[in-house]
Amino acid sequence: MRLFILFLSFISVFSVNAQRNCTSALHTAMPVISSQSNSMSPEKIITIPVVVHVVYNNTAENISEAQIISQITSLNADFAKSNNDFSKVPSVFAKLAANTSIRFELAKTDPMGKSTTGIIRKKSTRMMWTDDDKIKYLANGGSTTWDARSYLNIWVCNTVPGLTGYASFPGADRAVDGIVIRYDAFGSVGKVVAPFNLGRTLTHEVGHWMGLKHLWGDQQCGDDGIEDTPKQRSGNSGTPVFPKTTACNSTSDGEMFMNFMDFTNDASMGMFTAGQKTAMRTQFEINGKRSTILNSKALAPAWNNNMEPEILTVNTRDIVVYPNPVQSGNIKLLVNTNLGSNGKNYAIISSNGQIVKTGHLLEMEEDINVQSLAPGIYQIRLTDIASNSSTKFVKQ
């Protein structure tokens, strides 16, 4: 009983004296930020398909659709410099602010080509999550990453006290690429709790997902590599008063604590700079780490809604094949379980029980060439784990 009381006391202290804590810099090696753009117009709208994985242990954590939509709305406003509170940004910094011309939309089509709301709900026996990426695997009670080349994956859950969110940087392993946000710091309505109740936790983490560093570069008196963000001593918290000067930045303008890449409360944030805009958009250039997002079909109409139900039946704990049906070339095999360090074997079996192809998987998503298979219905099975790890696909 004493341990339980102490735990409740700790939670209460955390709730009253909440401070933003983002572990993204520790979680993934920091990328080199380039401010050079190749060919994309700086005003061309980049639209990013989003899938929200709500992983909950109780009803409070199973946040409403309204809360999710409020977060997408806030995110779009922040990235468009149309946030209602932009006027609070001091004029010396407001002149550096930019509309990034990046917007976000819940996915309309899932990786199998089926219609989706862009929201996945997964009940889990796990009560809290930390920054170890386990939430991104069904085997751990989490929800499997959708193809990170085509979707921004966001997991909403109950994190350990002190952790509001973390993100992977461009170039991360596709199996874990995405953002994790605490459920009561996600959006602006519903279960949100001040001071992180305006959706800025996700705005901050999306900045990381697009390659931005913290303003201080996670070093004392460090730098983020962006020319128009002032040097900063370290992360600011709470509600600083302008101007805030330190030995690291002794100019009259002080530190840009209202930038989305600082640690201040949501109500104290309000801007990205033009330099940050360029750095983020560079990730979507031809050779950028996020360029595949521009070819995503996640916002296009679904393409396999007319398939027979028995062919579409998939055990979501195991494996998924798409496109389904396939006419020629490759199918993609998405494995919803941990492959381990040695990978897993698979077999493709025809309708008469004959094994027509075998192979070995090392990644959670791999292409398999089925060009030589005759038209028909096939089963694909992982041969060295549970017998229910299989699904069907149609070769036309």
Q: Which tens digits make up the pLDDT trace of 65-93?
A: 999 999 999 999 999 999 999 999 999 99
Cα dihedral across residues 134, 138, 143, 146: positive or negative: positive
- Other beta carbons within 10 Å of 350: 16
Q: SS3 for 278? A: helix
**107 pLDDT more than 90:** yes
Position 234: which residue type?
S
pLDDT of residue 393: 85
In this structure, are residues 110 and 146 in contact, taking their beta carbons and an 8 Å threshold? yes
Please state the pTM of the whole predicted model.
Answer: 0.77
Averaged pLDDT, 110-135 = 93
Catalytic (active-site) positions: 205
Averaged pLDDT, 383-393 = 69
Return the minimum-mean-pLDDT range out of 127-131, 168-172, 375-379. 375-379
With pLDDT > 70 as the criterion, what percentage of the chain qualifies? 85
Distance CA 275, CA 371 (A): 47
Q: What domains can you pick out in the chain, each with its CATH number?
A: 20-295 (3.40.390.10), 309-395 (2.60.40.3080)
Q: What is the mean pLDDT of the chain?
A: 86
**45 pLDDT more than 70:** yes
